[in-house]
Structure 1
Amino acid sequence: MPNDEPYRGRCFCGAVELEVTGEPEAMGYCHCTSCREWSAGPVNAFVLWPTDTVSITKGADHLASYQKTDRSVRKWCNICGGHVLTEHPLWGVTDVYAAIIPALPFRPMLHANYQETVLPMKDGLPKQRDLPPELGGTGELLAE
């Protein structure tokens, strides 16, 4: 059942706030080197939303960004350094990190870029070698 109320999130200090509406397109874990280095963790929990459903409601002037490739624009609060989201312009989605939306029931569907994992996870979810075909990947699945 679709969610009629927006989900609200914020950066670590609260200077940047956002809302997302509707339902995400996908939830899961990314194991790629870029996500791991960006998050400073062994895995990144992602929630992909259609870009037009994500809005910054406070502190847009505090968002800084970095674009390493044409696939992603990473954004964070320039006050606290808290990571807020990653825009994926080629795919038309925005990853609002699961951890910054406390009320969102996180229901992961898959693991992406599992060939790069440094934290093997046995949870019964599909393990994509890279990405699903609709995002330009092979769709190849790896064993747990």
Structure 2
Amino acid sequence: MGDYKGSCFCGAVEFTVSGEPAAMGYCHCESCRHWSAGPVNAFTLWQPEAVKVTKGADNIGTYNKTPTSFRKWCKTCGGHLFNDHPPFKLTDVFAAMIPGLKFQPALHVNYQETVMRVKDGLPKMKDFPAEMGGSGVTLPE
């Protein structure tokens, strides 16, 4: 178990995450790709109480396109911080935001939407695992 520190791009917002993530992996959905401005998004999922803003809480902006994701960013630099996922009772802290955490991805989700094929031997879920309300279907690499 550990305590890890993270911050936005400019440092106006700082936060810690405590313990270990519930899951780590990659998301290929259009929303994550569009929001992260990349072909794939590396995620770490935490219990919401494990994520604590330690500086700049009043400087955090929120946008929710859907009730599934409340995306958070720094109002000063625009740097992304994390997403609250109320239906899953989890908070996604972008892996890149926690430099001290050893990122150990276990799977790819929403692979049916991928724009970048990845051959890493990890399971490629069509959408989400069944325990998260998905189909549980795995696609070939």
- TM-score interval, smaller chain: over 0.9
1:136 Cα deviation from its structure 2 partner: 1.1
Describe how 1:86-105 pairs up with structure 2 within 5 A. 86-105=83-102
Q: State the AA in 1 paired with 2:131.
A: E
Task: Show CA shifts across 1:70-99 (max 9, x none).
Answer: 111000000000000000011110000000
Residue 31 of structure 1 deviates from its aligned partner by: 0.0
Counterparts of residues 31-70 of structure 1 (less than 5 Å): 31-70=28-67
What is the CA–CA distance in structure 2 between the aligned matches of 1:51 and 1:112, rounded to whole Å? Answer: 20
Match of 1:6, SS state, is strand
5+ residue gaps, structure 2, are none
Secondary structure of 2:5's counterpart equals strand
Letter of the 2:64 counterpart: Q
> What are the Cα deviations for residues 20-63 of structure 1, in whole angstroms up to 9, with x where unaligned?
11110000000000000000100000000011110100000110
Question: Residue 84 of structure 1 corresponds to which residue in structure 2?
Answer: 81
**CA distance, structure 2, for counterparts of residue 28 and residue 123 of structure 1:** 12
Aligned match of 1:133 in 130, 135, 139? 130
Amino acid at match of 2:8: C
Aligned-residue Cα RMSD (Å) equals 0.6
How many correspondences in the alignment? 141
Q: Could you tell me how far 1:6 is from its partner in structure 2?
A: 1.0
1:17 to 14, 18, 24: 14
How far the C-alpha of 1:139 sits from its partner, in A, is 0.5
1:68 positional shift: 0.8
Which ranges of 4 or more aligned residues in structure 1 deviate by more than 3 Å? none
Q: 1:135, CA displacement in angstroms?
A: 1.4
Equivalent of 2:114, from 100, 117, 140? 117
Matches of 1:139 and 1:31, distance apart in 2: 16
Q: Secondary structure at the match of 2:112?
A: helix
Amino acid at match of 1:16: V
Give the TM-score taking structure 1 as reference length.
0.97
C-alpha deviation, 1:64, in angstroms: 0.2
